[in-house]
């Protein structure tokens, strides 16, 4: 019988901890002529090619030399119904939502449209090396079903949820406190823990949820403490001012979510830019995760994320594209813009930490590092094959690169989907 096991040969890089400096060689394992033995959707062994070929039996050998194999990328904040409004001109957050985003999301009432877009969405993710997404779907239950169904067909580990939003949105894009609760509950029962799927309870943000709906979101969190929770926090100054008008008793923006019992290490808070000291204390105490969205924050002119300030408080930051306010599906381009945002604040994003962040770091933020984000035996075989010479500009630069860190920095600053040579999802090649 033909084995379904694969032996992937190439240069192997995986992280064991967050790199503490640009020269922290103890934080990763790098094998120059390495291999991964893959079977049953998992990584069975990692080692030198020489050692593994001896134990690989009849596994099919796929030679990826001279390319670099890392864990698949993880995008921790992305809006699946916004694929057709990426690069919409001219506005900051609240105008952008009203002019482009909300009208577009009303189209996801149509289940066929949602299914077609889900297919295109996951094609794009895979082509950019992203093997796990944490997505906001539209308010419509069917959009979340389309998202999870497409991911299930591809056997991808995903997190997602239908947004709850019952005010300050157009007709056709509002639920009610009760329908939002029941639809979310039905989706949790259907999808959470099925195959590789997880559900995220998703009140969109304070502006689009009444206190009654926030209370229902709190009830869902209490009833399903193992679900994720995702929302937006302090992205834009006008957003913050309007939020405090709508919730006059709240001490600050985060206090709205805190009052309804939403904060825990399962909570992902997109943007988290303009934070008050009390909010930072609350993040540190509860373990809730800010999500840095560099391309989006620059595109909407939202502000500069204080990565170092939060990290110094022991807060675990995730990083993400935030398509469709984000301008690239590529986690490499996300690192590129992230590097520049940190430069503006005299902070540093060195290449080892950058590659750790989009793989194991984001997995840690999700509490999934035993499943994804590394190339450790026993974890799921979500793998990207990277070509740092993918374009002429990259190849020329690489002629002068002598170290692994330099190669990673070329990928971080110049890489995009062209640098993704192959992608494996649960051990299956997706491109070639
Ligand atoms: N805040 C509430 N909804 C959204 C959204 O769709 N995108 C961004 N960037 N911010 C939001
Ligand atoms: Zn968002």
In short, whether 371's Cβ falls inside 6 Å of ligand 1 is no
Residue 389, phi then psi, degrees to nearest 5: -115, 25
Q: What is the pLDDT of residue 1?
A: 46
In short, whether 325's Cβ falls inside 6 Å of ligand 1 is yes
**Ligand 2 centroid, distance to 232 Cα (angstroms):** 6
Question: Alpha-carbon distance 355 to 360, whole Å?
Answer: 8
Ligand nearest to the CA of 230: 2
Q: What is the mean pLDDT of residues 42-51?
A: 98
Q: What is the pLDDT of residues 101-157, one digit of tens each?
A: 999 999 999 999 999 999 999 999 999 999 999 999 999 999 999 999 999 999 999
**What is the percent of the chain where pLDDT is above 70?**
99
Q: What is the pLDDT of residue 3?
A: 64
Q: Which atom of ligand 1 is nearest to the CA of 82?
A: 6
Q: What is the mean pLDDT of residues 47-58?
A: 96
Ligand 1 atom 5: residue of nearest CA: 97
Q: What is the pLDDT of residue 108?
A: 98
Question: Alpha-carbon distance 221 to 227, whole Å?
Answer: 7
**What is the percent of the chain where pLDDT is above 90?**
98
Helix pair 111-127, 141-153: axis angle to 10 deg: 40
Neighbouring residues of 359: CB distance < 8 A, sequence distance ≥ 6: 14, 15, 70, 71, 72, 73, 74, 373, 374
Helices (H), 247-286: 253-259, 277-286
> Over the chain, what is the mean pLDDT?
97
In short, whether 96's Cβ falls inside 6 Å of ligand 1 is no
Does the pLDDT at position 252 exceed 70?
Answer: yes
Q: What is the pLDDT of residues 158-217, one digit of tens each?
A: 999 999 999 999 999 999 999 999 999 999 999 999 999 999 999 999 999 999 999 999
For the stretch 183-186, contacts whose Cβ atoms lie closer than 8 Å and that sit 24 or more positions apart, written own/partner, are 183/141, 184/220, 185/220, 185/223, 186/141
- Tell me the residues surrounding ligand 2 (ion) with CB < 5 Å: 270, 322
Q: Which atom of ligand 1 is nearest to the CA of 239?
A: 1
Residue whose tokens read 């509002």: 174
Q: Which atom of ligand 1 is nearest to the CA of 235?
A: 10
Q: What is the pLDDT of residues 253-286, one digit of tens each?
A: 999 999 999 999 999 999 999 999 999 999 999 9
**Ligand 1 centroid, distance to 400 Cα (angstroms):** 41
Question: Alpha-carbon distance 335 to 338, whole Å?
Answer: 5
Burial class (CB in 10 A: 0-12, 13-18, 19+), 344: exposed
According to DSSP, the residues that pair with 423 across neighbouring strands are 384
Q: Which two tokens stand for residue 163?
A: 């947004």
Neighbouring residues of 270: CB distance < 8 A, sequence distance ≥ 6: 77, 230, 231, 232, 233, 235, 291, 293, 320, 322
Ligand nearest to the CA of 268: 2
């Amino acid at each position: 019988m033909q084995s379904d096991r694969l032996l992937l040969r190439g240069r192997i890089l995986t992280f064991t901890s967050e790199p503490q400096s640009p020269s922290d060689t103890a934080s990763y394992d790098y094998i120059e002529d390495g291999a991964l033995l893959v079977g049953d959707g998992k990584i069975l062994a990692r080692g030198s090619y020489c050692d593994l070929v001896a134990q690989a039996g009849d596994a099919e050998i796929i030679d990826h030399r001279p390319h670099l194999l890392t864990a698949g990328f993880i995008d921790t904040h992305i809006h699946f119904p916004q694929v057709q409004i990426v690069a919409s001109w001219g506005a900051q957050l609240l105008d952008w939502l009203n002019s482009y985003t909300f009208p577009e999301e009303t189209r996801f009432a149509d289940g066929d449209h949602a299914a077609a877009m889900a297919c295109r969405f996951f094609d794009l993710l895979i082509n950019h090396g992203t093997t796990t997404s944490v997505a906001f779907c539209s308010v419509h239950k069917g959009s979340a079903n389309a998202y999870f169904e497409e991911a299930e067909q591809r056997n991808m580990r995903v997190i997602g949820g239908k947004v709850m939003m019952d005010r300050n949105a157009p007709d056709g894009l509002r639920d009610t406190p009760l329908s939002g609760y029941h639809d979310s509950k039905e989706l949790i029962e259907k999808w959470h823990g099925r195959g590789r799927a997880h559900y995220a309870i998703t009140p969109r943000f304070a502006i689009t949820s009444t206190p009654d709906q926030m209370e229902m979101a709190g009830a869902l969190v209490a009833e399903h403490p193992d679900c994720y929770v995702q929302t937006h926090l302090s992205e834009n100054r006008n957003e913050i001012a309007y939020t405090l008008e709508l919730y006059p008793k709240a001490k600050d923006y985060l206090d709205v979510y805190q009052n309804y019992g939403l904060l825990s290490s399962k909570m992902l808070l997109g943007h988290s830019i303009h934070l008050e000291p009390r909010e930072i204390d609350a993040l540190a105490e509860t373990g809730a995760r800010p999500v840095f969205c560099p391309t989006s924050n620059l595109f909407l002119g939202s502000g500069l994320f204080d990565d170092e300030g939060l990290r110094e408080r022991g807060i675990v930051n995730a990083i993400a594209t935030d398509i469709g306010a984000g301008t690239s599906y590529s986690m490499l381009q996300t690192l590129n813009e992230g590097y520049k945002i940190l430069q503006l604040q005299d902070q540093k994003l060195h290449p080892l930490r950058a590659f750790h962040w989009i793989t194991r770091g984001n997995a840690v933020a999700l509490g999934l590092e035993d499943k994804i984000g590394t190339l450790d035996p026993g974890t799921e075989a979500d793998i990207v094959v990277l070509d740092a010479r993918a374009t002429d500009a990259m190849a020329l630069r690489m002629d002068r690169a002598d170290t692994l860190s330099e190669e990673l920095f070329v990928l971080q600053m110049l890489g995009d989907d062209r640098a993704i040579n192959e992608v494996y999802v649960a051990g299956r090649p997706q491109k070639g």
